[in-house]
Amino acid sequence: MGEYDRALEELGKVNMESLPDSIFLVFGYEKVLCSYLKEDLNRALYNIDKVYLRFKDTLRILEFLPLNILCLNSCREWNNAMILWNYYIDNSRLNDSVKVNFRQEVNRLYDKKNLPGFYFPDKAERLSTYLPGSGQIYCGALPEGLFNLSINGTLLYYAFSKLYNKFYFTCYLVGVKLFNKFYSGGIRRARSLALEKNEKGIKSFNLKNSTLMKRLYTENVASIH
């Protein structure tokens, strides 16, 4: 139902420390999952750490590794995510040659050129403050940036032309007011576009990770049977 806050509220009523290990793992996983799905990454990682603390140096933490990797990706902690990936592969039941193939795929996935780009929202906002549309262009939205630049330029030209011809009311009402709306709106849009691009990049990258995780899980199960 997507009511992750309510789920976490119910889970919070449980005295986790008094639970036997098997039940602790079930409740712990639900806490991590709900925190991740509501995009509370700090809470998800905190709950993962609590599980690791209780089951330190045991393979019972393996089922938490995929979520841990996805959380680390969302925080852009690529090196730590790769360390967990390798640990996950090493402790699978696959034969050595298959493990090597998976490690190679992980290395390709985390190659610098394949990592999602990052756009600084403050920089995008600052660029559009100095030159309308440049923040959008910085975020890769060239047509939108050029449109924003042209419309702001047109309105500014219109305002000055009316001012020059002493149509002060028209200059203020149509030129200045409208320009200010598009100018300030473009600044806000540049910031939100940077955030959107960052979020989209992480989701796409995590989807590739999830696909690889499913393959690893499927081949691992097949090797057991």
Q: What is the pLDDT of residues 187-223, one digit of tens each?
A: 888 999 999 999 999 999 999 999 999 988 888 777 6
Higher pLDDT, 177 or 76: 76
Q: Say which residues have a Cβ less than 8 Å from residue 106's Cβ, sequence separation at least 6.
A: 82, 85, 86, 89, 212
Taking residues 149-163, what's their average pLDDT? Answer: 66
Q: What is the pLDDT of residues 34-49, one digit of tens each?
A: 999 988 899 999 988 8
Q: What is the pLDDT of residues 115-128, one digit of tens each?
A: 998 999 999 999 98
The answer to whether the CB of 139 falls within 8 A of the CB of 122 is no
Is the per-residue pLDDT at 81 higher than 90?
A: yes
Which pLDDT score, from 0 to 100, does residue 174 have?
64
Read off the tokens for 127: 């660029």
Q: What is the pLDDT of residues 165-185, one digit of tens each?
A: 665 556 566 666 666 777 778
Q: What is the pLDDT of residues 9-34, one digit of tens each?
A: 988 888 888 888 888 888 889 999 99
Question: For the chain, which residues make up each domain, given as ranges?
Answer: 4-106, 121-200
Confidence of residue 74 (pLDDT cuts 50, 70, 90): very high
The answer to whether the CB of 112 falls within 8 A of the CB of 178 is no
Measured CA to CA in angstroms, residue 108 lies from 75, 153, 183, 204 at distances of: 19, 45, 42, 15
User: How far is residue 102's CA from residue 83's CA, in Å, rounded to a whole number?
Assistant: 13
Whole-prediction pTM value?
Answer: 0.81
Higher pLDDT, 143 or 60: 143
Q: What is the pLDDT of residues 55-68, one digit of tens each?
A: 876 777 888 899 99
Which pLDDT score, from 0 to 100, does residue 114 have?
92
Which pLDDT score, from 0 to 100, does residue 97 have?
87
